[in-house]
């Protein structure tokens, strides 16, 4: 079992759901990224998703796109990101996954990237631009390395294709809550709960929902049907303030936000 398999098996036994924050690596710098990861896990995040900045991001809204641009303008390299993760991962009581473009993985070489990620303490990869038809080689390499390959299902994915994606996925299935890009939203689609329930008929894997989740009321709506909830832009927006404000204050605000989201799940620290 991968670390992510073990995590969700434990959560299911205890009837808990995973809060999965997303942070951009290197915004405003890698030292602060490491500090944010430590604080997120200390506050109760079950798993953390780390975005590897890419010049042509896929489905990322303006907040995350801007964070990628800032990191890349400072000369951030993939090796720098993995080096930071190798330092921080042993300190954390939660698995780490990277959100990484297939263009980066392909350029490094599939086996080389998987081995480098494993050495860095990464437990899984989310590769949003990898079609299920082309995912076989990377899926096999990840299985060999005990890494999860987490793939995405969207509201417009036909049922038969969703089933194929779920069959090729490991760790969990990432369900995209809305058609479009990431970003904070006032409301989520009313049909979302039913669509997640339909996907569950096709897989025994945990289903984690992302895109647009930024308020406690979103958590209260989705926690009953999801195994985990992914929160991205709301956290990245907080992190961006660290370039101009005292970092300790920003960390405290992130912690307060996480506590609010966990409380909406019915969890307490």
Active site residues: 49, 60
- Closest Cα partner for 19 from 218, 248, 170, 243? 218
**Burial of 138 per CB tally in 10 Å (0-12, 13-18, 19+):** buried
CB 116 within 8 A of CB 108: yes
Q: Residues of 42-56 as b/e, b for ≥16 C-beta within 10 angstroms?
A: ebbbbbbbbbbbbee
- Closest Cα partner for 166 from 201, 134, 210? 201
CB atoms within 10 A of CB 133: 9
| Residues 6 or more apart whose Cβ sits within 8 Å of residue 48 | 20, 21, 22, 23, 37, 40, 41, 92, 94, 95, 96, 97
CB 61 within 8 A of CB 182: yes
């Amino acid at each position: 079992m991968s670390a992510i398999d073990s995590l969700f098996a434990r959560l299911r036994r205890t009837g808990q759901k995973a809060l999965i924050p997303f942070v951009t690596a290197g915004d405003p710098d890698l030292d602060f990224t490491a500090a944010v990861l430590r604080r997120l896990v200390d506050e109760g995040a079950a798993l953390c998703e780390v975005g590897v900045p890419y010049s042509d991001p896929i489905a990322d809204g303006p907040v995350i796109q801007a964070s990628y641009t800032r990191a890349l303008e400072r000369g951030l390299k993939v090796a720098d990101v993995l080096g930071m993760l190798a330092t921080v991962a042993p300190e954390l009581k939660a698995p780490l996954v990277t959100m990484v473009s297939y263009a980066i993985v392909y350029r490094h070489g599939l086996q080389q990237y998987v081995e480098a990620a494993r050495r860095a303490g990464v437990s899984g990869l989310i590769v949003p631009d990898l079609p299920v038809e082309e995912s076989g080689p990377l899926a096999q390499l990840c299985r060999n390395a005990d890494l999860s390959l987490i793939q995405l299902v969207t509201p417009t994915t036909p049922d038969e294709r969703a089933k194929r994606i779920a069959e090729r996925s490991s760790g969990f299935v990432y369900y995209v809550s809305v058609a479009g890009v990431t970003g904070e939203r006032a409301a989520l689609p009313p049909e979302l709960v039913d669509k997640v329930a339909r996907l569950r008929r096709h897989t025994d894997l945990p289903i984690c929902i992302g895109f647009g989740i930024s308020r406690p009321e979103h958590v209260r709506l989705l926690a009953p049907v999801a195994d985990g909830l992914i929160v991205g832009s709301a956290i990245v927006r907080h992190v961006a303030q660290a370039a101009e404000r005292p970092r300790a204050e920003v960390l405290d605000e992130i912690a307060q936000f996480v506590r609010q989201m966990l409380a909406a799940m019915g969890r307490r620290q």
